Amino acid sequence: MRRPYHLSDRWHHFAQPFGRYMSHRLHHLAEPPARVVAKTGLSPNSLTLFGFLLNVGVAYILATGHFLLGGSLVLVAGAFDLLDGALARVTGKSTRFGALLDSTIDRYSEAALLFGLVVYFARNDATTELILLFAAVVGSMLISYVRARAEGLGLDAEIGIMRRTVRICTLAVGLMISQVVIALWALAVLTNLTAGQRLFYVWQKTRKGESKQG
């Protein structure tokens, strides 16, 4: 008997292709400039660390309230985050440690950007924005954590709409069009929904595997 098509299935079938398409498309677009960077002799790990320093500088700009400039630079810094992986692929210098370093620095970079906004809104006693930022930080960290734990179980939980590239674009656009609160609402809600979606996905997969063994 064919099982009923639930609302969760519709969300899963929409969110997974959209998030995957955005991520893969941007990574593909990063390869031509990565070939140019490869001629400079820079290593992927050096580019990763440079991108982190750039994100720290952007965080300072956000902390001072220059959101239009900060939002533009968020995209520039995000481009560097894409370039390191693309550089590793086009030069054949992909390593397991490089992948771990890239993933770790990405988390630090994202946290730095959000911390810059925390400093700004804390100075202005903006309680709602601070709560949204806290929820966004938790959701963003859980997205990566659930995926990592799923991989430890032998499962690929790289699903959901709010992948890192989508989160960065959402934040940057919100900053540039002076709709920071809307962007923070989107990040706070959708990051935690994505983390929950990944957790639910793993639960479904493990339940099916355990039922077969039983």
Question: Domains, the chain, ranges and CATH?
Answer: 8-206 (1.20.120.1760)
Backbone region of residue 125 per phi and psi (left: phi > 0; alpha: psi in -120 to 50; beta: other values) = left
Kindly report, residue by residue over 146-172, the tens digit of the pLDDT. 998 998 888 888 888 888 889 999 999
Query: What pLDDT is recorded for position 64?
Result: 96
Query: What pLDDT is recorded for position 55?
Result: 95
Query: What pLDDT is recorded for position 167?
Result: 94
Q: What share of the chain is helix, strand, coil (3-state, %, to 5)?
A: 85, 0, 15
CB 112, CB 56: distance < 8 Å = yes
Q: Is the pTM of this model over 0.75?
A: yes
**What is the arithmetic mean of pLDDT over 5-17?**
49
Kindly report, residue by residue over 83-107, the tens digit of the pLDDT. 887 888 888 878 888 888 988 999 9
Catalytic positions are 106
Instruction: Work out the percent of the chain whose per-residue pLDDT is above 90.
Output: 50
Q: Which of 165, 158, 97, 109 is nearest to 137 (CA)?
A: 109
